[in-house]
């Protein structure tokens, strides 16, 4: 069974209330990962600092994404994006959100490529979020794109039709109508995603050992050790 997760941004948190995204609840209710909006153009998502640090504290696996726009230099966008997570690197890689925004120019794909190359100079592969209906007119069949992880948006289908030239998807955003409160969000709905593999495969993708004790288990083990030490001191 594929691991599931959510993707969030400032829209999952109403600034007018004290409530924020509860990543502990998100993880407890079945989400194994979260993809978090970090930036757009040359500004940060309002909630990136809270979301990024608290998602990590909950033990949920994370990936950040940047919404690529056409009016800001892609290299500058990439540098800004990287700066938002430089001190706390993601477990699941970084993604460029390549989709509809205003009027799409003829050099949009070149901007995406420049953005990805810049991110890859700093952190390794940069994945691409896109949808079939956008990639067809504004993407490419060049095989080089298949070397980057694909986060495919395709709602209302039993399984995604993999966008060419990719051979398979890594993440699939399968609905925008997930139960927000169930997953710790203030918004009534939240985007939901699947990883192309089960929990063990997701951990392997993140470079984690599936047999490694969880953070909770480590804390319990430390607690038992302290109790044993205290008992020996009596």
**Mean pLDDT, contiguous 10-residue spans, the chain (234 residues):** 98 90 98 98 97 97 98 97 93 98 96 98 95 98 98 96 98 98 97 98 91 48 37 38
In a domain, 70, yes or no: yes
Q: Tell me what pLDDT residue 213 has.
A: 52
Q: pTM of the full predicted structure?
A: 0.89
Dihedral sign computed on CA atoms, order 13, 7, 194, 25: negative
Q: What is the CATH number of the domain that holds 49?
A: 3.20.20.80
In a domain, 231, yes or no: no
In a domain, 213, yes or no: no
Residue pair 40/67 in contact (Cβ under 8 Å)? The answer is yes
In a domain, 204, yes or no: no
189 phi and psi angles, rounded to 5 deg: -130, 160
Counting the structural domains of the chain, the total is: 1
66: closest CA among 57, 56, 74, 58? 74
Q: Tell me what pLDDT residue 124 has.
A: 87
Q: Tell me what pLDDT residue 102 has.
A: 92
Q: Tell me what pLDDT residue 86 has.
A: 87
Cα separation of 181 and 179, whole Å?
Answer: 6
Q: Tell me what pLDDT residue 181 has.
A: 97
- How does strand 61-67 pair with strand 31-40? parallel
In a domain, 87, yes or no: yes
In a domain, 184, yes or no: yes
Q: Tell me what pLDDT residue 216 has.
A: 45
In a domain, 51, yes or no: yes
In a domain, 116, yes or no: yes
Residue pair 63/36 in contact (Cβ under 8 Å)? The answer is yes
Q: Which helix (H) or strand (E) holds 85?
A: helix 74-85
Domain hosting 144: range is 4-197
């Amino acid at each position: 069974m594929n691991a599931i997760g959510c993707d969030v941004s400032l829209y999952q948190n109403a600034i007018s209330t004290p409530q924020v995204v509860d990543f502990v609840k998100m993880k407890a209710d079945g989400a194994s990962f979260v993809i978090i909006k970090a930036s757009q153009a040359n500004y940060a998502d309002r909630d990136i600092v809270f979301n990024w640090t608290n998602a990590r504290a909950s033990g949920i696996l994370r990936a950040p994404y940047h919404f690529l726009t056409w009016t800001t230099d892609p290299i500058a966008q990439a540098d800004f994006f990287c700066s938002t997570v430089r001190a706390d690197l993601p477990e699941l890689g970084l993604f460029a959100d390549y989709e509809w925004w205003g009027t799409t120019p003829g050099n949009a794909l070149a901007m995406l490529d420049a953005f990805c190359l810049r991110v890859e100079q700093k952190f390794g592969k940069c994945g691409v979020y896109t949808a079939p209906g956008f990639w067809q007119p504004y993407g490419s069949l060049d095989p080089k794109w298949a070397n980057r992880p694909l986060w495919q948006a395709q709602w209302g289908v039993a399984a995604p039709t993999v966008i060419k030239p990719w051979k398979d998807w890594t993440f699939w955003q399968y609905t925008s109508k997930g139960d927000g409160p169930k997953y710790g969000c203030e918004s009534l709905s939240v985007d939901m995603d699947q990883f192309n593999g089960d929990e063990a495969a997701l951990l392997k993708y993140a470079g984690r050992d599936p047999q490694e004790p969880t953070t909770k288990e480590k804390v319990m083990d430390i607690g038992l050790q302290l109790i044993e030490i205290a008992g020996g001191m009596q």
